[in-house]
Structure 1
Amino acid sequence: MKTIKQLIRCVLLSACSVIATVAVADDKPSFEQYLQQVKQQALAQGVSPATIDQAFADATFIQRTVKLDRNQPEKRVTLDTYLPKRVPQWKIDKARKLYKQHYSLLKEIGDQYGVQPRFIVALWGNETNFGTYTGNFDIVSALATLAYDGRREEFFRKELIAALTILDQGHIELAQFQGSWAGAMGQTQFMPSSFLAFAVDHDGDGRKDIWGTQADVFASIANYLAQSGWNDDLTWGRQVKLPADFDPELAGLKIKKSLAEWQQLGVRRYDMSNLPTRDIKASLVLPDDAQGRAYLAYGNYDVLMKWNRSYYFVTSVGYLSDRIAYPSVFAK
């Protein structure tokens, strides 16, 4: 049992805690006041006053953006359930069709950047269904909302300044400046900072148009991969079979072994034949666990992880690229 003094102390502490919480809330600026701070920062970083005024004229706080940012999927997903949904047969068929349709341009860009065209198409398909869905959130409002919300304020504030820079450089009109709830843009779903680092004006019209110009979309994807260390002499990886006694502690991208070393450890191709004899370093990746699918991941797998740090996403890109390149193999 608590004494009277202890109870009084608890009440006082609780009251102080409530007062402190209210004080912190009161100290937070309003959304409009926060935008004024961002405007000053953007101005200091060289964005023109006209662009700043235009961009923020109709900027609003989007509650749905905050909800989506904090939402965590409750249903358990495995690679066996993810891949059929992410890469259904209709998407494979469409990827093959578009690969053939744009092959001349894809090869030109692939040769220039050292990236196999099938990976350009696979990323394009997995990010925005080949450009058919790029998001309909106002980029400035979405990024301003997420920055103001504060969970990742520094990250989203930096992206917001980058978005203003894109507008200031004239790559897109404000009315068309839309994307995902998190601020990812265009057919490549680049964040604004990635746009500034990797987007390409391949057709030479003075605009890096990842929203509507196919040449710029493909070249921007290829440039991202090339600058991130892509090697067009290698594929992304391969699905493999593990021996019954395989040690799962050997899995992970930080562990690199030669194919010969993995062969000695009992790792085999998916059809149980021997691994290739090339001198290649690879990691063993288990997207789920030792009982799920297993992959030998080459250096290009690490590059794709820079694009999206999800084993599922990277595997889906690699899988779609294989379905584009080797239709006869998967037809068996």
Structure 2
Amino acid sequence: MKRSFPFQDLVVAALLLPLAACAQTAPTVPVPAAPAAVAPATAAPVPSALSQPLTQQQFASCVQNLAQQTALSGRPLRREDFERIAAGGRYDDRVRQSMLVTTTEPTFWWDELAATTDEDRVQQGRAILARERDALQRIETQFGVPKEIVLAIYGIETNFGPASGRIPVLDASLSLVCLRPCPPTATAPGSCMARERAFAAVRLLRDRRVQPESFVGSWAAAFGRTQFVPDTYELVAVDGDGDGVADIINSERDAWASTANHLKQRGGWRMGEPVYLEVSIPQEQRAEFAARDNSIRLTDRAKRLSEWTAMGWRVLAPNAVTPQPGSDPELYPFLPVGLPGPAFLVSRNFDTVLRYNRSERYVMEVSLLANKIAGGTDFVTAWPTDDPGLTRAQVRDLQNWLVQRGHAQVVADGVIGRVTRDAIAAERAAKGLPAGRRVGQRTMRELMQP
């Protein structure tokens, strides 16, 4: 799941990351920025288990303990096969460091969506759609999943291919389960997802379904062009280019078909239903949707679109994907940050993308990017902030400026990670600006002015 996962919300995601339909992360914490009345979210405390790297002895002991649990594998795995292949695994502290970043660097909705659905990415997606329209249309017809959704996942996960990660998946999966051991109660086969992820990585290598040199991915053990974790790959990867092999690392068409199959098999995609419709809520009903600490997602309030319309809810601007003529989809309310802020009615396709990656922000990133690729526009309602997020091009401009200011470790990659945030904090302090590790449209101008 993504992009080497710089935008994942919270640490729990590390165990079940992207593309694991059964994954479960902590709820997204959407927070309006100043001058709104709600203050930014407080970073979660650093879990004590992540405060120090594992020693080699601790890691070796963990792997040996896993070898004794191969009978609990969800699919057949002999202990000797595990020991032989896992012997080549190494503890990678980048996994722990990435888990810490997701814990200690809360972000805003408007930052993430501004970066992940910027015009550069939209144009890249449209170029691929033009180049591969026939193949993508065939996949859409076969699996009943819109080609724009498939492309959007491709774009969000790996920026259409090049950002699939650099950490050996075997190392990542073993490091994850050793940093977050299974509970003692997980005694049924396949009952611990982190353990099963490591076992699946071993099985893929055992069966030569992947080549060791190219079996690399994110710190969350996700790999390939659309970032499948090993256990998900085993379940839903399919051949999309007709060569008889499901290769999501080297074949775009295999990755697209596998992604569509995931959404079909694990979510039951409903063709012709938009993921979201942006709406206005009648004044007399707005009080219950005021901003709160978490997003508002009322799955138990599903009604037909005609019923919402009868209650005075109005679609502000139709998506590029609108309900099919004569259809009346069932929708429920979703407000990322409450009111004031964008409000949506979302379909069960929202839940389907959520099964691909358990992050509400991820769902909106994918669905908004898909809408833009298909010819739609951004949200009508502004986010409740006077400091909107930056595009990746703007982030690169900021990073280049930070390099010129002497922060040599900053890389102009368009991603605001820990090193960039450290440099932002230092520059804010140097210029006498309020302490902080974030910049948006307004604060970037303030920071960079002579």
TM-score of the superposed pair, with normalisation by structure 2: 0.61
The answer to whether 1:121 aligns with 2:151 is: yes
The answer to whether 1:145 aligns with 2:175 is: yes
- Among 306, 309, 333, the alignment partner of 1:284 is 333
Moved more, 287-296 or 44-53: 44-53
Moved more, 190-199 or 60-69: 60-69
Q: Could you give the per-residue CA deviations for residues 231-251 of structure 1, whole angstroms, max 9, x where no partner exists?
A: 112221211122233232985
The one-letter code matched in structure 1 to 2:314 is: R
**3-state SS in 1 of match to 2:62:** helix
- Counterpart residue number, 1:230: 269
- Counterpart residue number, 1:176: 214
**Structure 1 residues 286, 313: CA separation in 2 closer, same or farther (over 3 Å shift)?**
same
- Among 302, 308, 312, the alignment partner of 2:361 is 312
The one-letter code matched in structure 2 to 1:248 is: F
**3-state SS in 1 of match to 2:283:** coil
Q: Which has the higher contact order (CA 8 A, sep 6+)?
A: 2
Q: Could you give the per-residue CA deviations for residues 188-218 of structure 1, whole angstroms, max 9, x where no partner exists?
A: 1111111111111233444321111122111
- Counterpart residue number, 1:34: 62
- Residues 15-30 of structure 1: matches in 2 within 5 Å? 30=58
Q: Could you give the per-residue CA deviations for residues 7-37 of structure 1, whole angstroms, max 9, x where no partner exists?
A: xxxxxxxxxxxxxxxxxxxxxx832132123
**3-state SS in 2 of match to 1:38:** helix
Alignment check: 8 A CA contact 2:281 2:312 kept: yes
Distance in 2 between the 1:103 and 1:37 partners? Answer: 49
- Residues 58-207 of structure 1: matches in 2 within 5 Å? 58-72=88-102, 74=104, 77-150=107-180, 154-207=192-245
What's the CA shift for 1:322? 1.0
What's the CA shift for 1:44? 7.7
Alignment check: 8 A CA contact 2:86 2:202 kept: no
What's the CA shift for 1:65? 1.0
Alignment check: 8 A CA contact 2:278 2:317 kept: no
Distance in 1 between the 2:104 and 2:346 partners? Answer: 29
Distance in 2 between the 1:37 and 1:233 partners? Answer: 49
Q: Could you give the per-residue CA deviations for residues 261-283 of structure 1, whole angstroms, max 9, x where no partner exists?
A: 211332111149xx977421101
Count of residues paired in the alignment: 300
Moved more, 163-172 or 285-294: 163-172
- Counterpart residue number, 1:326: 375
What's the CA shift for 1:43? 7.4
Distance in 1 between the 2:66 and 2:212 partners? Answer: 18
The answer to whether 1:244 aligns with 2:283 is: yes
The answer to whether 1:215 aligns with 2:253 is: yes
Alignment check: 8 A CA contact 1:259 1:280 kept: yes
What's the CA shift for 1:64? 2.5
Q: Could you give the per-residue CA deviations for residues 51-74 of structure 1, whole angstroms, max 9, x where no partner exists?
A: 535532332222221222233455
The one-letter code matched in structure 2 to 1:123 is: I
- Counterpart residue number, 1:254: 300
Distance in 1 between the 2:235 and 2:331 partners? Answer: 28
**Structure 1 residues 303, 49: CA separation in 2 closer, same or farther (over 3 Å shift)?**
same
Alignment check: 8 A CA contact 2:297 2:335 kept: yes
Distance in 1 between the 2:70 and 2:339 partners? Answer: 49
Between the aligned residues of both structures, percent identity stands at 27
Distance in 1 between the 2:251 and 2:333 partners? Answer: 38
Alignment check: 8 A CA contact 1:78 1:288 kept: no
- Residues 4-19 of structure 1: matches in 2 within 5 Å? none
The one-letter code matched in structure 1 to 2:289 is: P
Distance in 2 between the 1:185 and 1:320 partners? Answer: 21
Distance in 2 between the 1:116 and 1:230 partners? Answer: 9
**3-state SS in 2 of match to 1:284:** strand
TM-score of the superposed pair, with normalisation by structure 1: 0.82
- Counterpart residue number, 2:387: none
Q: Which runs of 4+ in 1 moved over 4 A?
A: 48-51, 73-76
The one-letter code matched in structure 2 to 1:230 is: W
Distance in 1 between the 2:270 and 2:247 partners? Answer: 26
Gaps in structure 1 of 5+ consecutive residues: 1-28
Gaps in structure 2 of 5+ consecutive residues: 1-56, 184-191, 291-295, 381-450
- Counterpart residue number, 1:9: none
Alignment check: 8 A CA contact 1:283 1:298 kept: yes
**3-state SS in 2 of match to 1:94:** helix
User: RMSD over aligned Cα, in angstroms?
Assistant: 2.6
The answer to whether 1:268 aligns with 2:314 is: yes
What's the CA shift for 1:169? 2.5
What's the CA shift for 1:151? 5.3
**3-state SS in 2 of match to 1:239:** strand
